[in-house]
Amino acid sequence: MVLGPFSSLLTKPASVVASRYNYAMIEGAGGGPSVFTQGLHNLFDVSPPVANLLISFAKYIQSLPASQRPATAAYATQNDPFTQPQVDTARQLLEQYGVKTVSNQVYPSETTDYTPIAQKMIASNAKIIVTGTLLPDIVAYIQAFKQQHFNPQAIIATAGPDQGSQFTKAIGGAPAAEGIFVPNGGWYPQINTFQNAQMVKDFLAKYGGKADDISSDVAEAFSVGQTLVQAATKIQSIDNAKLITELHSGDTFQTVQGPVKFNAQGENILG
């Protein structure tokens, strides 16, 4: 079997190769919608589908009293199958809710100089910043915002802030993260889910730090292992064909992120 890899961008081609050789592929960080339109039977994502992860943020903005509700938003996203669908959905909803789009940028995922993108967001003077990022670009944006004393009411990123201490250290400490949102897919260190307390305890014993410093990548990877162990234990086999059959059986698997049950495309319908 194959476990991983990280990101929808890598999962798409990797899953095709795994399918060619009839390998079961279980992953926790490749949930972009286009990953599941390839007609594959061997791919399983234990994490919640990503396309709708920013909907709760948009609804939160809508729920604010009119006197507090931000009126403008700027968007910037990689052209990545993980980030862009989330940002597009959020933009469409916020526009429906009356939030005016004052900047909308899509840039190649290979970009390394984020300064021009950050400057356009700053120049827009948007009250909300919605970014389709991973760790490097959101860190660059926040550093630029701090340098220019740009302080919007809210910032949300598809990924980056969920990396715990890797994120907070890079932006100048936890106080600098005030007002920055990230969809966490349902996991946080204190959640009462299957084996989560033990996972957190073991992680801190090995790597040190604080529970809130743990990256969501840890929970995603651990959930992959939990799902594999439960499936293999039930069928008493690690044969790929048998694993694929079991993972498609409709059984529910318990993980630190919550319950997992796969549809025909391999998405977690309980996430």
SS (H, E, C) the chain: CEECCECHHHHHHHHHHHHHCCCCEEECECCCHHHHHCCCCCEEECCCCCCCCCHHHHHHHHHCCCCCCCCEEEEEEECCCCCHHHHHHHHHHHHHCCCEEEEEEEECCCCCCCHHHHHHHHHHCCCEEEEECCHHHHHHHHHHHHHCCCCCCEEEECCCHHHCHHHHHHHCCHHHHCCEECCCCCCCCCCCCCCHHHHHHHHHHHHCCCHHHCCHHHHHHHHHHHHHHHHHHHHCCCCHHHHHHHHCCCCCEEECCEEECECCCCCECCC
Q: What is the pLDDT of residues 161-207, one digit of tens each?
A: 988 899 999 999 999 999 999 987 779 999 999 999 999 999 999 99
Q: What is the pLDDT of residues 96-154, one digit of tens each?
A: 999 999 999 999 999 999 999 999 999 999 999 999 999 999 999 999 999 999 999 99
Domains annotated for the chain, with CATH where assigned, are: 2-48+217-260 (3.40.50.2300), 55-181 (3.40.50.2300)
What is the reported pTM? 0.81
